Chains A and B, each alone.
Chain A
């Protein structure tokens, strides 16, 4: 298990389940988050 967590927000539309949004998170020790990644996250809106 590498602590990769996929999260889905679901809703019902006409009795059918639809995905509203999806995100993938990975839980890591702080040393494994590099500056380049933090810069990238800052550019995302």
Chain B
């Protein structure tokens, strides 16, 4: 199959996922492990071309495209199938309870004098990039956490033990008045994103039309 558009790639990835899923699925099972090499054998059996970067199939299904309908049809109640890393080159379909975190409509909105350089508004490539820039220029992480923080790196790809490769939108580091140091991973979602998996694949970010969302965590350094 020639990959000449987003739709076809999506369809191809979903067919591969479906095959791997239903080769393992039995009613009642909640964890279906598979290996990166299973992606190759599934694609071969289906006669579809694989991308050079095999990990993109899993990445797309975790973050960009929907789980195929046939797989979703086996979900019940609040549970949803997600793909999680289970170590290097190992993955699993896992039926999990998904948290739906959405902005509380009753919360007071605090107005902040906008310090975003106007030129950023003109040139930001995406909602997500624009949001990360706004958060940075307006020091919203400092305001929110009450800590001085410093942006360390954007789009950090790293490997977490037992999870596999993850990508974090931006990493801040910070320090409080008692000298405690923090590593602060930040995920940003522009408006209108529908569902998005976290690094653990257990969370849905439900953004309303008017909201942009930023998630932060706070960890001591050298914790995994």
Q: How many residues of B contact A (CB 8 A)?
A: 40
Q: B145 to chain A: which residues have CB within 8 Å?
A: 9
Per-residue CB proximity of A24-41 to B under 8 Å, as 1/0?
A: 111111101100010001
A-B contact count (CB 8 A): 109
Please state if A27 and B101 are interface contacts (CB–CB under 8 Å): no
Q: B68 to chain A: which residues have CB within 8 Å?
A: none
Per a CB cutoff under 8 Å, which of B99, B131, B143 touches A17? B99
Please state if A32 and B111 are interface contacts (CB–CB under 8 Å): yes
Q: Give complex CA distance A17, B98 in Å.
A: 9
A window 1-34: CB within 8 A of B: 1-12, 15-17, 19, 21-30, 32-33
| Contact of A23 with B113 at beta-carbon distance under 8 Å, contacts A5-B213, A9-B145 already known | no
For A30, the closest partner residue in chain B by CB is B113
Residue of B110, B190, B210, B211 with most partner-chain A CB within 10 A: B110
Q: Give complex CA distance A10, B144 in Å.
A: 12
Please state if B215 and A27 are interface contacts (CB–CB under 8 Å): no
Main secondary structure of the interface of B (DSSP, over half): mixed
Q: A27 to chain B: which residues have CB within 8 Å?
A: 112-116, 134, 138
Closest CB of chain A to B195's CB: distance in Å? 14
Per a CB cutoff under 8 Å, which of B111, B127, B212, B215 touches A33? B111
B103 within 8 A of A: yes
Please state if A7 and B112 are interface contacts (CB–CB under 8 Å): no
| Residues on B facing A (Cβ under 8 Å) | 97, 99, 101, 103-104, 107-116, 127, 131, 134-135, 138, 140, 143-145, 190-191, 198, 200, 202-203, 207, 210-218
18 further interface pairs, Cβ-Cβ under 8 Å (given A1-B212, A5-B213, A21-B144) = A3-B114, A3-B212, A4-B210, A7-B215, A8-B214, A8-B215, A10-B216, A10-B217, A15-B200, A16-B99, A17-B200, A23-B110, A24-B107, A25-B111, A25-B143, A28-B111, A28-B113, A41-B110
